[in-house]
A and B are shown apart, each in its own frame.
Chain A
């Protein structure tokens, strides 16, 4: 995923390391950018399905994986 604030590209796993010392991190689905700390949500399974469905509908605009 790409951070919308600073432009850094990262894997969701990379983004977990800054969260480890947070007491809430087990119940928290947010990840944060390893470069700047901006918080994001990784896409859920349903969101991925929705993306597929939409990319079919909007197939003229190519959708990023």
Chain B
């Protein structure tokens, strides 16, 4: 009895806004949508002079609040920051979502970009599904016209049973119509979305049932519909999770959790992916009926190959095969054939002797000669490393990587790894983009954004320092390791272990970070040569812009060090350390380079390839991999965490890296392994 009553209350609450809509005097309007779709332009068109801008409590996110008038109704309008979906990832999205939850708006105006309906309509579906009074504004029609995209709003209105208007707000097109429809909507007796003739999102039966089960289990009062709560709970929304946990009795919460676990287990690709897929399916269906554009393409994934890629039994061997091909191309062709040619013939026989000869005959001062030529000169060392060693390696590396990116292999790799990680209870998705991506800032972003306590921040910055976030640098190390195949495989094993460690630690440390994202499998295809070349070029340009200045800077600093004798002191100081790791004293120089950038250090090791044994190479490369990534990151750490923490971290990482080297050396000596 009691329960039924509560259930009724819940239902009443859901449609509370429609009840009070009759003969409205005041109305609250919330404008939502992705960034840059024209929300603020609409906000300004609807509001008058009374606008206040304030920070959302506890955040730096700004909200605009304005008053307006529409016929006899006075409006209170809120302009929200951009959001892409109901399940928030960024702080902006969280704020926008919370406004939706807490303000019980009479109308939610969803502004979308006419050019990107396929990406934006899923959120319309989510809003509608959440029981919110959605009013869809398809903006930027002027640009859609230019691209000859034809949109039939009446069709969308008919399918979704929500008001739909098309506008070009910045061109003052469609505003009158919008206001009229809005006023009608506000004064209509029944709300549009109460109409049950509208289509449903074709969730798989299991998910649909789970949403029903969970929403019927919810007995307390909430500011948003049980459907939406169930939906967000299924997706793993932390706030909703907490909200439900706090409001429902333990036994009910357990039941709800079990329901989720059950469906989750049924979909190993991830619930979020299934849900996103259903939403996209309906979106596609709608667009097929309502949008005519010249460029429409549909493709089906290649079934047989996909099964091979995604099954662990064939998927992992395929990874090995891909790595092997990668090794042949980057490690053998790039790092051996081309490097040897440039390094030994071009620089060794022509450029360096020529530079030195010119310097001797034209420059009378030895120090200036040493700046450009000699052992550590800008040209003979800096430029030589950059052009003769790094260029062929990153060139082949980026070429191979662009090929893999364009072939559609990465999403398959991601799914495979994700499944595997999930089986052993880790969050693979959180780390994979970082591992595969190119730069180094993602991790830093994640770190500063999400971690609350100082301890967590320090540990994760440490992870960031130890991790190998820059795949470009990793590529150079990979190429160096390839000079000895046995070393290469052991090193790959070590790097994989580090990845797992990072995956493990970050899933423990940052459970809330990008818990999930959907992955869409594009068809496998043979990449277009032009695309690959442009991608490779883009990356090389970026790499050299970032790297070359460091090489020159390093050469200058080395020159200064040599001039003052400091360099020699440091090298001599490091010699005992080198011998503890079983490395020749000269390796110290490579490690000093390595402090500028790992790849620079790797190039330094390359210079020593004649004198290093397999064991020594492995030790040196492993230590280099674990080493402080680069001066830039060190500087950021100082800025972010203060000099004390940064130095502490620096010494810890050094200790860890060199410690590993020493342990490896002892291990080799003890077991007698020779690589």
Contact = CB atoms under 8 A, between A and B. Distances in A.
Interface in A41-65: 41, 43-44, 46-47, 50-51, 54-55, 57-58, 61, 63-64
A17 B518 CA distance: 19
Given A40-B438, A41-B539, A13 B35 contact: yes
A21 B436 contact: no
Given A5-B410, A43-B538, A50-B534, A17 B441 contact: no
B517 interface: yes
B445 A58 contact: no
Contacts of B640: 23
A51 B441 contact: no
B542 interface: yes
Given A5-B432, A8-B520, A37-B433, A58 B529 contact: yes
A37 B442 contact: yes
A28 B442 CA distance: 11
Given A39-B433, A39-B439, A44-B538, A24 B529 contact: no
Contacts of A47: 534, 537-538, 541
Given A21-B449, A39-B433, A30 B533 contact: no
A20 to B, nearest CB: 8
A34 B123 CA distance: 15
A61 B521 contact: no
A14 B411 contact: no
Interface in A9-41: 9-11, 13-14, 17-19, 21-25, 28-30, 32-41
A55 B530 contact: yes
Q: Which of A13, A23, A38, A63 has the most CB of B within 10 A?
A: A38
B519 A41 contact: no
A35 B517 contact: yes
Contact of B436 (A5, A19, A30, A57): A5
B36 interface: yes
B519 A58 contact: no
Contacts of A37: 433-434, 437, 442, 446, 514, 517
B414 interface: yes
Contact of B438 (A9, A21, A39): A39
Contacts, number: 137
Interface string B249-260: 000000000000
A24 B414 contact: no
Contacts of A18: 90, 442, 445
Contacts of A24: 440-441, 444, 632, 636
Contacts of A55: 530
A5 B529 CA distance: 20
Contacts of B84: 14, 34
Contacts of A41: 438, 538-539, 542
B448 A21 contact: yes
B434 A19 contact: no
Nearest to A29: B542
Nearest to B441: A22
A41 B438 CA distance: 8
B447 to A, nearest CB: 9
Interface residues of B, number: 53
A58 B445 CA distance: 40
B531 interface: yes
B406 interface: yes
B105 interface: no
A30 B82 CA distance: 21
User: What secondary structure prevails in chain B residues at the interface with A?
Assistant: helix
Given A5-B414, A5-B519, A50-B534, A38 B448 contact: no
Interface residues of A, number: 44
B174 interface: no
Nearest to B434: A37
B541 A44 contact: yes
Contact of B519 (A7, A9, A13, A57): A7
Nearest to A27: B632
A22 B445 contact: yes
B517 A61 contact: no
B423 interface: no
A33 B119 CA distance: 14
B454 interface: no
Q: Which of A14, A24, A40, A58 has the most CB of B within 10 A?
A: A24
A57 B530 contact: yes
A36 B439 CA distance: 14
A53 B35 CA distance: 33
Contacts of A6: 411, 414, 517-520
B639 A23 contact: yes
A7 B520 contact: yes
A21 B406 contact: no
B429 interface: yes
Contacts of B555: none
B297 to A, nearest CB: 11
B528 A32 contact: no
A64 B437 contact: no
Interface string B356-392: 0000000000000000000000000000000000000
Contacts of A34: 84, 89
A46 to B, nearest CB: 7
Contact of A17 (B92, B539, B636): B92
Contact of A51 (B448, B534, B636): B534
A63 B406 CA distance: 13
20 contacts: A4-B410, A5-B432, A17-B90, A19-B441, A22-B445, A24-B440, A30-B441, A32-B437, A35-B518, A37-B433, A37-B517, A39-B433, A39-B438, A43-B534, A44-B541, A46-B541, A47-B537, A55-B530, A58-B529, A61-B528
Given A5-B433, A39-B433, 17 more contacts: A5-B414, A5-B519, A6-B520, A13-B36, A14-B84, A23-B640, A24-B440, A28-B439, A30-B438, A30-B439, A34-B89, A41-B538, A44-B541, A46-B537, A47-B534, A51-B534, A64-B531
The 4 closest A-B pairs by CB, nearest first: A7-B520, A39-B437, A54-B530, A38-B433
